[in-house]
Amino acid sequence: MSIEDPWRPFQEIMEAPWEWARSWKQKTGRKVIGHLLPDVPEEIIHAAGALPMAVEGAGVQIGQAQAHIPGYTCSHAMGAIEMGMTGKLDVLDGMVIPYVCDTTRNLFHIWNRCFPHMSNEFLRLPKRIDYPEARDYLCVEFTRLLSSIAEITGKKAGPDEVARSSLLYDKSRKLLRDAYRMQQERPALWTQEKVQLLFASALRAPREEHLTWMEALPWDQEEVDCQVRIPIYVKGKVWDPPGILSLFDKLGLLVVSDEIVTGFRLAAIDVGLNGNPIESLAQRYISLTPYPGYHMEPDMLIQGFLNRVVKSGAAGVVFINPKFCEAAGFEMPDFQKALGETGIPSLILETSSRSASMEQIRLRLEAFRELLSGDLP
Ligand code: SF4
């Protein structure tokens, strides 16, 4: 791997993540466990001695999946099945699917039928994260997941291993947050596309190696940047279509904060070990920005969102909603109404690899940019 260009290791893994995992597996003789986003605790998979690999279905061109899953399924779930059917995921020894919505609940059963050779786990996340019982429930569920993964890997794993993995992941999250800050301070060098490369590869590379690559980045490099950028806030599931961040870079739209599960949300909160490591892990999960599909008191949900947007200083909000995602659709009218009453413009992009056109998205973003520029002093 080239050491001359410090960004190259991140690019290499993202150019061929499954091939990369295959050669890692051959080299180490260890297991690779896939997980569907969001909120599967990677620390648990790592503690049990396996490599956690995020499975992201958005952006995958669909050929075979529609024979196995209804056509009105979001790209994220449909793309995951497609990758499995086309052999991309053969390297996986197991797969963890979280319960975040009806789609993932049904996907788990379909997955078991399509890929019985994998050890498949359904992570039953609580729907009401604001209930005090959620934390205790999660501790039991995370402990169960740890034993299941340890059975696949054959490695004994308990609280000490979880603590060690949590420390490693916290260290990595700190550097990812630093990179996100660089994106705000030096956006010409630390472009949004490049910073997202760091986040996306963290979900695929062995975290120890990823940390070493992160430390070698040009943290001290100064930049001269004359481009005017408009601060925006983004809410959605993943950066879909892939390439949308480079579009933001080109259009001078700067994401000052986001709730994307492969974006800032990934690094926003540490485990911050405090007593029992599983309890600390559960606490981290409960403290995360709520994902669409989790249930909360509507007023609390809307006010929390509004506070985050206002605090970020964004001039506008872009919603990236996966087509057919009911969870995101349910929340939308309330969020838009609240933003409208506060005088913050917003734009909804409904994305799907089966229908999204990058050109349409570019045009809509350009128009939104013009609207926001007019609002600037
Ligand atoms: S929450 Fe939405 S995007 Fe995520 S899996 Fe469910 S339907 Fe798909």
Give domain status of residue 71, yes or no.
Answer: yes
Confidence category of residue 86, pLDDT binned at 50, 70, 90? very high
Q: What's the CA-to-centroid distance between 322 and ligand 1, angstroms?
A: 7
pTM for this prediction: 0.95
**Is 69:97 a contact under the CB 8 Å cutoff?**
no
CB 63 within 8 A of CB 88: no
Closest atom of ligand 1 to CA, residue 36: 5
| Cα–Cα distance for residue pair 253/372, rounded to 1 Å | 10
The residues that bridge with 55 in the sheet, in sequence order, are: 36
For ligand 1, the distance from its centroid to the CA atom of residue 232, given in whole angstroms, is 23
Do residues 331 and 213 touch, judged by C-beta distance below 8 A?
A: no
User: Candidates 323, 325, 330, 351: which one to mutate for ligand 1, based on the most atoms within 8 Å of Cβ?
Assistant: 325
Q: Helix, strand, or coil here: 28? A: helix
User: What are the phi and psi torsion angles at 69 (to 5°)?
Assistant: -140, 145
d(CA 197, CA 180) in angstroms, rounded, equals: 11
H helix runs in 33-132, sequence order: 42-47, 75-85, 102-114
| For ligand 1, atom 3: residue with the closest CA | 325
How far apart CA 61 and CA 150 sit, in angstroms, is 34
Q: Which residues pair with 233 in a beta bridge?
A: 257, 317
Q: Is 105 inside any structural domain?
A: yes
159 Cα: distance to centroid of ligand 1 (angstroms): 31
pLDDT at residue number 4: 84
- The string of pLDDT tens digits covering residues 121-147 is 999 999 888 888 999 999 999 999 999
Q: Can you tell me the distance from the alpha carbon of 323 to that of 360, in angstroms, rounded to the nearest whole number?
A: 15
Atom of ligand 1 nearest to the CA of 104: 5
1 Cα–ligand 1 center, Å: 36
- Atom 2 of ligand 1, nearest CA residue: 325
Residues 6+ positions from 249 with CB-CB distance below 8 Å: 187, 191, 192, 193
What is the span of the domain harbouring residue 142?
9-153
| Angle of the 277-287 helix axis to the 133-153 helix axis, nearest 10 | 120
CA 321 to ligand 1 centroid distance, Å: 9
Distance CA 296, CA 327 (A): 12
pLDDT at 367: 96
Write the CA distances from 266 to 114, 326, 357, integer angstroms: 29, 22, 27
**Residue 199 falls within a domain, yes or no?**
no
Q: Which residues line ligand 1 (CB under 6 A)?
A: 74, 76-77, 100-101, 103-104, 237, 292-293, 322, 325, 327-328
Question: What is the pLDDT at residue 355?
Answer: 64
Residue whose C-alpha is closest to residue 76's, from 206, 202, 236 = 236
Beta strands in 60-168 (DSSP E): 94-98, 119-123
Residue 2 has pLDDT above 50, yes or no: no
CA torsion, ordered 67, 70, 72, 77, to nearest 10 deg = -80
Position 216 in a domain: no
Query: Exposed, middle or buried by CB within 10 Å (0-12, 13-18, 19+), for 55?
Result: buried
Interval 152-174 mean pLDDT: 97
Residue 333, H or E segment? helix 326-342
Residue 73 CA to ligand 1 centre (angstroms): 8
Atom number, ligand 1, closest to the C-alpha of residue 328: 2
User: Residue 176 C-alpha to ligand 1 middle, in angstroms?
Assistant: 25
Ligand 1 mutation target, pool 101, 320, 323, 324, most atoms within 8 A of CB? 101
- How many angstroms does the Cα of residue 143 sit away from the middle of ligand 1? 25
pLDDT at 297: 85
Cβ atoms of residues 321 and 236 within 8 Å: yes
User: How many CB atoms lie under 10 A from the CB of residue 169?
Assistant: 24
Task: Report if residue 234 sits inside a domain.
Answer: no
Q: Cα of 58 to ligand 1 centre, how many Å?
A: 10
Tokens 């806030």 identify what position?
233
Domain at 43, CATH number: 3.40.50.11890
In a domain, 93, yes or no: yes
Q: How many domains does the chain have?
A: 1
Strands (E), 226-322: 230-236, 253-258, 316-322
- Cα separation, 361 vs 251, in Å, equals 12
Four-residue CA torsion sign, 183, 187, 192, 197 = negative
pLDDT digits over 287-344, tens only?
999 888 778 888 989 999 999 999 999 999 999 999 999 888 888 999 999 999 999 9
- Nearest protein CA to atom 8 of ligand 1, as residue: 74
Summarised one tens digit per residue, pLDDT across range 20-58 is 999 999 999 999 999 999 999 999 999 999 999 999 998
With a pLDDT cut of 90, the percent of the chain lying above it is 82
